[in-house]
Amino acid sequence: MNETPASDQEIEDAIREYHATRAEEGALAARAFSSVTVEEGIAKVVYDASLSETETRDWLSEHSIDNLAEFASAPLAQSTPESTRMRMSTVRVETELADGTPLGALENAGIRALNSLER
């Protein structure tokens, strides 16, 4: 197994690809995905409810995840060598609306807790 921590770009790509796949499956949060940036292991995932064809208030009340960072962190929490590498270099995942309204954050320990093999 490659024990080299993933680059910020690899983490960005994984989060972006996860949202694209989930959007195709109809996941409301993924359809509202706007952007992701990762700097020094801190991922910032931005959602824009207008992208999911619903009002922001309705979208906020409809998404069933209290901390949207749990959804955004899913590709980092999988039981794959690639996800393990990404967890090695991820400090935190932060989520917010395009207007800056926070939607939750998850530290590395929380991301690891999502992976049942690391509990």
Q: Is 27 exposed, middle or buried (0-12, 13-18, 19+ CB in 10 A)?
A: middle
Q: Which residues contact 112 (CB under 8 A, 6 or more apart)?
A: 77, 87, 118, 119
Break the chain into its structural domains and give their ranges: 8-118
- Residue 13 DSSP SS3: helix
Write down the pLDDT at residue 62. 65
Write down the pLDDT at residue 107. 97
Write down the pLDDT at residue 109. 94
Write down the pLDDT at residue 28. 80
Write down the pLDDT at residue 82. 94
Write down the pLDDT at residue 27. 83
Decide if 76 contacts 6 (C-beta within 8 A): no
Give mean pLDDT in consecutive 10-residue pieces for the chain, a chain of 119 residues. 86 98 88 95 92 65 77 94 94 95 94 75
Write down the pLDDT at residue 111. 94
Within 10 Å of residue 6's Cβ, how many Cβ atoms? 23
Write down the pLDDT at residue 117. 57
Helical residues (DSSP H) of the chain, grouped into ranges: 8-24, 28-31, 56-62, 68-72, 81-89, 108-114
